[in-house]
């Protein structure tokens, strides 16, 4: 069953699948104040800069990038938790920005998010059962009190918690258990699509592995579609069918997971991969690595041309002037680099 789902995912990423979410030219700008208190001038940060992206039904799309790359903002804008400045998101072909009232509320039920911090995302004054059940009540998904309690108990069991824990409060749970509650809350409204925002990055490895396995199994059992936002490329490789890489608000590469890691086409993807050590000293000793100089530029004042050019070991004059478009290299790969065809970059 598990294998089948993966096969579907791969088929989807070949473009045979049905798209669930289409992001079209999406931009999110944030105004920021600069200057002193008295002479405040306004500038704009393009947190998400003209992003187009498709998420296929039943796949897990990984979205990676460093802090400030705009990956979280993109995830939130897809859910309309963040108003887009430009562009639109289609869910199952319907434009979300035109929806209002009941239609929007129904759609919201199908799209859920699980947050990074299991401490601040659960209301400390609500019991675990109430947290999980809130959505069931709002969306009237239970016919009576008994059905409600039964459903809450079922959800707790689904995420590997004891149904008796429904009466406990968040502070009585460990970080891993709280993440499970967050997952149960998202599942309560029977969604099709879940955004997992840096969901496992605060957890210890042994707990992280438990949660990742849970997410994978739930996806297979319930036919969910995930957008998995994370900075940890190893975790993303493990869970994703396809991966999109962001740098300073733009998507620089999209590919099937195995292709991206084995054979990165964008120098930034290459640097990210080479920055992650493999837990095997013999492999580490033989790996070819590049360590990037400098730090990501200030998003309020991004470099000209390709945003990555000041840090790129392969940059030419063209890169400083001309913005590379995200273009198709083959049917399942997109990359925005002028030199994608000529560079030979080694993955892992």
Which residues form the interface with other proteins (CB under 8 A)? Answer: 3, 6, 66-67, 174, 176, 204-210, 212-213, 231-235, 237-241, 257-258, 261, 271-284, 289, 291-293, 295-296, 348
Q: What share of the chain is helix, strand, coil (3-state, %, to 5)?
A: 40, 25, 40
CB of 264 to other proteins, least distance (A): 11
Rounded-to-integer distance, Cα 312 and Cα 316, Å = 9
CB of 156 to other proteins, least distance (A): 17
| 202 secondary structure, DSSP code | T
> By C-beta, is 106 or 157 nearer to other proteins?
157
CB of 192 to other proteins, least distance (A): 21
> By C-beta, is 135 or 274 nearer to other proteins?
274
> By C-beta, is 13 or 121 nearer to other proteins?
13
> By C-beta, is 91 or 261 nearer to other proteins?
261
CB of 206 to other proteins, least distance (A): 4
Coil, helix or strand at residue 11: helix
CB of 262 to other proteins, least distance (A): 9
Q: Can you spell out the DSSP letters for 284-346?
A: HHH-------S-PPPTTSPPSSSTTGGG-TT--HHHHHSPPP-EEEETTEEE--TTTTT----
> By C-beta, is 83 or 206 nearer to other proteins?
206
Which residues contact residue 240 at a Cβ distance below 8 angstroms, ignoring those fewer than 6 apart?
A: 60, 61, 62, 228, 257
């Amino acid at each position: 069953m598990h294998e089948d789902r993966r096969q579907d995912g791969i088929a989807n990423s070949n473009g045979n699948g049905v798209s669930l979410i289409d992001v079209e030219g999406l931009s999110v700008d944030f105004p920021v104040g600069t200057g002193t208190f008295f002479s405040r001038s306004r500038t704009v940060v393009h947190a998400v800069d003209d992003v187009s992206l498709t998420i296929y039904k039943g796949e897990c799309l990984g979205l990676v990038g460093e802090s400030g790359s705009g990956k979280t903002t993109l995830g939130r804008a897809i859910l309309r938790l963040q108003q887009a400045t430009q562009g639109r998101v289609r869910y199952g072909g319907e434009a979300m920005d035109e929806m209002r009232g009941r239609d929007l509320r129904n759609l919201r039920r199908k799209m859920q998010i699980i947050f990074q911090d299991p401490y601040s995302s659960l209301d400390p004054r609500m019991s675990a059962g109430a947290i999980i059940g809130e959505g069931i009540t709002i969306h009237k998904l239970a016919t009576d009190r008994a059905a409600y309690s039964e459903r809450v108990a079922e959800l707790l069991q689904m995420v590997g918690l004891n149904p008796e824990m429904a009466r406990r409060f968040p502070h009585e749970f460990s970080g891993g258990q709280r993440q499970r509650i967050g997952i149960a809350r998202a599942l309560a409204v029977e969604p099709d699509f879940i955004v997992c925002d840096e969901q496992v990055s605060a957890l210890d490895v042994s707990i992280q592995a438990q949660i990742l396995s849970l997410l994978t199994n739930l996806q297979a059992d319930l036919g969910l579609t995930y957008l998995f936002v994370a900075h940890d490329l190893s975790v993303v490789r493990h869970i994703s069918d396809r991966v999109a890489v962001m740098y300073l608000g733009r998507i620089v590469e999209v590919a099937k997971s195995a292709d991206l890691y084995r054979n990165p086409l964008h120098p930034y993807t290459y640097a990210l991969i080479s920055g992650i050590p493999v837990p095997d000293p013999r492999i580490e000793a033989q790996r070819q690595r590049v360590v990037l100089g400098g730090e990501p530029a200030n998003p309020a004042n991004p470099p000209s041309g390709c945003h990555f050019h000041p840090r790129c070991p392969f940059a030419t004059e063209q890169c400083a002037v001309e913005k590379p478009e995200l273009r198709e290299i083959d049917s399942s790969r997109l990359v925005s680099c002028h030199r994608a065809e000529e560079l030979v970059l080694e993955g892992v």
